[in-house]
């Protein structure tokens, strides 16, 4: 972070002025850190610069305490930002309803402002950094007037881990503060680790200053001026106008993926849109998998899966993001940089994900779900029957508005991972966990089989570049359209994806390839001619996990096909599973014509990366085409 280049307005406030603002904070917040506890001079300087720019009424430095959280939530209940849920049914839990124009990530308003446009690549929005800074400075000028400026120290990953990094978010949204307490390791302990070390500065404002006499909205936002901006060279994040999810919780996609992916490229590690799960067989042998799926394609469900196979256990390290480094033993080790889950509510139920349902019984903030007359939450797919007199996410009675959904399709829950019944014992281990397998997948109704294994690291990286999925409601735009999403990182890679592919390929040179994770591609979403899923249910995915677990050691037989290794007839454990033989055959076969069309489409798609497309990936595509011709 270079504070000498004038990224903010020149510092005019004195140290005494800062002390005045700190001491005159609102009486509603009794907790908080003392100024003397900020030992990092760069942090003090940055806070002063933001105060001068945004002109808040007061400043609160967050300590992450229970008392602070209670004060914040009580404050938001008074302003109708939060609705307390029935404490007997769901203790310490709240419902929030966003503005209708602020319900998801806004990819068209998300920018990678590298010095050179070519470095951002064709999959990112780019704007010249100096022009973007000028525009942002104008927007942030006085943006926190009438509000409290919160300073949030947070750690991405376990405190003290060699894979972790520190961030500081400044925001004027108490909702963001409360959510960040759930989603990160946040508070005064972070400052003890920070001291004089560097940090990632993350600046956020809802963009709605309050002049005297103005009444605040329960969900303030500025729909006409949304910007989520990343400066990869200087490792800064600026977000304006949105209070929702990854647009405002800057530790999540902005830091953990867009900025961290660039850091990983520079420093030789990986920041990935991946779950991390532990798999233990009946004999007590345990392995860890990482898996990359586009948003709302089942990562959270898989990470907390209850296997239908007796004796097989699955534990949760993380449901969304993995940071991975090669350690001294030559293996790839991973941490989950997050402390919470920001999961999609719609479709989550005791049938699809009982562990998630048990996790969100308490200590959870729900956004844009329904409210029952008993004071509990509800969403489509949570149960078979819709509760009577349920208030939907727009605040309307469902019986009066039959055409409106109870919950928004991208409704979310923010909940601590520590409350999950299947949380892995190594979830908070600073060493991380060793990764034995990497899975790619997407929502594909045809062509892609249930599971296949790559023939090499290079072939596996090629498979990662081919990921595509039918779009969901996690981002603004059309739903159900097939789009490419390499490595499930399309909206999250902070630099040119051609360089990103090359970075993945380089790992075969960083260690013995035999020590690297084996790579697989899965697809639970294949449908038949009647648009019914061929695979019988998510809980049965434990059978696929078993095959992958054993294939790591090459134990079960597999068939080598033009696209990779597939299970043979005895490969999958189908004990007590009722599945139509035709469906099983389709799930485990190679659709040659479909793959030939896939090759043609990929060849066109790769052209967008121009000369940055690694030659090794093109060679894999050529080789696949030749193998399909011979089949």
pLDDT tens-digit map of 18-73: 444 444 444 345 557 766 678 899 999 999 999 999 999 999 999 999 999 999 99
Handedness of CA 354, 357, 359, 361 (dihedral sign): negative
3-state secondary structure of 180: helix
Nearest Cα to Cα of residue 31 among 80, 73, 77, 65? 65
Give the CATH number of domain 3-78+106-268.
3.40.449.10
What average pLDDT does range 584-593 have in this prediction?
95
Please tell me the predicted confidence (pLDDT) of residue 9: 36
What average pLDDT does range 513-527 have in this prediction?
96
Any idea which of 21-25, 296-300, 401-405, 434-438 has the lowest mean pLDDT? Answer: 21-25
Please tell me the predicted confidence (pLDDT) of residue 7: 40
**Higher-confidence residue: 25 or 140?**
140
pTM equals 0.93
Residues 604, 279: Cα–Cα separation, whole Å: 38
Please tell me the predicted confidence (pLDDT) of residue 90: 98
In the structure, what pLDDT confidence band is assigned to residue 296 with cuts at 50, 70 and 90?
low
Angle 66-78/174-183 helices, nearest 10 degrees?
Answer: 140
Any idea which of 413-417, 543-547, 575-579 has the lowest mean pLDDT? Answer: 575-579
- Tell me: pLDDT of 11 over 70: no
Residues 519, 289: Cα–Cα separation, whole Å: 10
Stretch (H or E) spanning 495: none
- Tell me: pLDDT of 370 over 50: yes
Residues 6+ apart with CB under 8 A from 276: 288, 289, 290, 303, 316, 317, 318, 322, 334, 336, 433, 435
Which residues are registered as beta bridge partners of 522? 441, 451
Handedness of CA 107, 112, 117, 119 (dihedral sign): negative
Residues forming CATH 3.40.449.10 domain(s) in the chain: 3-78+106-268
The residues annotated with a catalytic role in the active site are 105, 244, 253, 273, 295, 297, 320, 412
3-state secondary structure of 318: strand
In the structure, what pLDDT confidence band is assigned to residue 6 with cuts at 50, 70 and 90?
very low
Reading the block at residue 237, the tokens are: 């994040």
Please tell me the predicted confidence (pLDDT) of residue 27: 39
In the structure, what pLDDT confidence band is assigned to residue 264 with cuts at 50, 70 and 90?
very high
Residues 302, 319: Cα–Cα separation, whole Å: 8
Any idea which of 13-17, 197-201, 276-280, 344-348 has the lowest mean pLDDT? Answer: 13-17
In the structure, what pLDDT confidence band is assigned to residue 136 with cuts at 50, 70 and 90?
very high
- Considering the four listed CATH numbers 2.40.110.10, 3.90.1170.10, 3.90.228.20, 3.20.20.370, the one that applies to the domain covering 271-338+423-630 is 3.90.228.20
- Tell me: pLDDT of 295 over 80: no
Condensed to tens digits (0 to 9), the pLDDT of residues 441-489 reads 999 999 999 999 999 999 999 999 999 988 655 455 555 578 899 999 9
Residues forming CATH 3.90.228.20 domain(s) in the chain: 271-338+423-630
Condensed to tens digits (0 to 9), the pLDDT of residues 167-208 reads 999 999 999 999 999 999 999 999 988 987 899 999 999 999
Are 545 and 289 a contacting pair, CB within 8 Å?
yes
- Tell me: pLDDT of 299 over 70: yes
Reading the block at residue 272, the tokens are: 């990935």
Are 165 and 157 a contacting pair, CB within 8 Å?
yes
Are 9 and 138 a contacting pair, CB within 8 Å?
no
**Higher-confidence residue: 472 or 95?**
95
Residues 52, 144: Cα–Cα separation, whole Å: 10
Please tell me the predicted confidence (pLDDT) of residue 196: 76
Reading the block at residue 164, the tokens are: 């972790």
Reading the block at residue 403, the tokens are: 């055409």
Residues 99, 207: Cα–Cα separation, whole Å: 14
- Residue 333 is given by DSSP the state E
Please tell me the predicted confidence (pLDDT) of residue 402: 73
DSSP string across 96-147: E---TT-SSB-GGGEEE--SSHHHH-TTSB---HHHHHHHHHHHHTTTTTTS
Reading the block at residue 621, the tokens are: 């595509």
Nearest Cα to Cα of residue 334 among 405, 415, 406, 277? 277
Reading the block at residue 158, the tokens are: 């376990």
What average pLDDT does range 327-340 have in this prediction?
98
DSSP string across 182-215: HHSEESHHHHHHHTTS--EEEEEE-S----TTPP
Nearest Cα to Cα of residue 164 among 32, 10, 321, 285? 321
Please tell me the predicted confidence (pLDDT) of residue 20: 42
How does the average pLDDT of the chain come out, rounded? Answer: 92
Nearest Cα to Cα of residue 410 among 99, 96, 105? 105
Please tell me the predicted confidence (pLDDT) of residue 506: 98
Please tell me the predicted confidence (pLDDT) of residue 39: 86
Condensed to tens digits (0 to 9), the pLDDT of residues 210-263 reads 998 899 999 999 999 999 999 999 999 999 999 999 999 999 999 999 999 999
Residues 6+ apart with CB under 8 A from 202: 167, 168, 169, 170, 236, 237, 239, 250, 251, 254, 255
Reading the block at residue 405, the tokens are: 């959904």
Please tell me the predicted confidence (pLDDT) of residue 501: 98
């Amino acid at each position: 972070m270079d504070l000498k280049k004038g990224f903010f307005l020149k510092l005019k406030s004195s140290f005494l002025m800062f002390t005045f603002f700190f001491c005159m904070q609102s009486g509603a917040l009794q907790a908080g850190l003392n100024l003397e506890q900020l030992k990092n001079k760069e942090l003090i300087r940055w806070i002063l610069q933001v105060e001068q720019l945004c002109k808040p009424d007061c400043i609160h430095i967050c300590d992450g305490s229970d008392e602070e959280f209670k004060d914040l939530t009580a404050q938001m209940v008074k302003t109708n930002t939060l609705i307390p849920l029935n404490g007997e049914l769901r203790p310490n839990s709240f419902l929030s309803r966003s503005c209708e124009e602020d319900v998801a990530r806004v990819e068209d308003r998300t920018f990678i402002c590298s010095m050179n446009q070519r470095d951002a690549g064709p999959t990112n929005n780019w704007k010249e950094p100096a022009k973007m800074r000028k525009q942002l400075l104008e927007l942030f000028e006085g943006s926190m007037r009438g509000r409290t400026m919160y300073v949030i120290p947070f750690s991405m990953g376990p405190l003290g881990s060699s894979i972790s990094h520190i961030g500081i978010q400044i925001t004027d949204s108490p909702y963001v503060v409360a959510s960040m307490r759930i989603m990160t390791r946040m508070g005064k302990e972070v400052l003890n680790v920070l001291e004089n070390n560097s940090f990632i500065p993350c600046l956020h404002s809802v963009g709605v200053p309050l002049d005297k006499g103005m009444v605040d909205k329960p969900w303030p936002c500025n729909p006409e001026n949304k910007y989520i901006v990343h400066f990869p060279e200087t490792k800064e994040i600026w977000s304006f106008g949105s209070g929702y999810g990854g647009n405002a919780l800057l530790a999540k996609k902005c830091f953990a993926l867009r900025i961290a992916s660039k850091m990983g490229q520079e420093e030789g590690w990986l920041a990935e849109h991946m779950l991390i799960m532990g798999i233990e067989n009946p004999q007590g042998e345990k392995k860890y998998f990482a898996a990359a799926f586009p948003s709302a394609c089942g990562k959270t469900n898989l990470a907390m899966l209850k296997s239908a196979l007796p004796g097989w256990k699955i534990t949760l390290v993380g449901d969304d993001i993995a940071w991975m480094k090669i350690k001294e033993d030559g293996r790839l080790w991973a941490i989950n940089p997050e402390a919470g889950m920001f999961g999609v509510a719609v479709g989550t139920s005791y049938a699809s994900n009982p562990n998630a349902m048990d996790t969100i019984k308490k200590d959870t903030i729900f956004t844009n779900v329904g409210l029952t007359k008993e004071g509990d939450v509800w969403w489509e797919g949570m149960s078979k029957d819709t509760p009577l007199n349920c208030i939907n996410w727009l605040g309307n009675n469902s019986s009066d508005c039959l055409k409106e959904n109870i919950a928004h399709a991208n409704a979310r829950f923010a909940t601590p991972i520590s409350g999950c019944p299947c949380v892995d014992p190594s979830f908070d281990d600073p060493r991380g966990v060793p990764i034995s397998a990497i899975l790619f997948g997407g929502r594909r109704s045809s062509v892609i089989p249930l599971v296949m294994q790559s023939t090499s690291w290079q072939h596996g990286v090629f498979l990662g570049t081919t990921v595509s999925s039918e779009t969901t409601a996690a981002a603004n735009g059309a739903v159900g359209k097939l789009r490419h999403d390499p490595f499930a990182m399309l909206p999250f890679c902070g630099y040119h994806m051609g360089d990103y592919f090359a970075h993945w390929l380089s790992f075969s040179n960083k260690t013995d390839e035999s020590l690297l994770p084996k790579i697989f591609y899965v697809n639970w979403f294949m449908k038949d001619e009647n648009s019914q899923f061929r695979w019988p249910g998510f809980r049965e995915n434990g059978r696929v996990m078993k095959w992958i677990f054993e294939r790591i050691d090459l134990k079960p037989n597999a068939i080598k096909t033009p696209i990779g290794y597939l299970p043979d007839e005895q490969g999958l454990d189908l004990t007590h599973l009722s599945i139509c033989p035709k469906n099983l055959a389709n799930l485990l076969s190679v659709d040659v014509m479909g793959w030939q069309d896939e090759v043609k489409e990929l060849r066109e798609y790769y052209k967008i990366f121009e000369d940055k497309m690694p030659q090794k990936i093109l060679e894999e595509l050529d080789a696949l085409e030749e193998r399909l011709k011979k089949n």
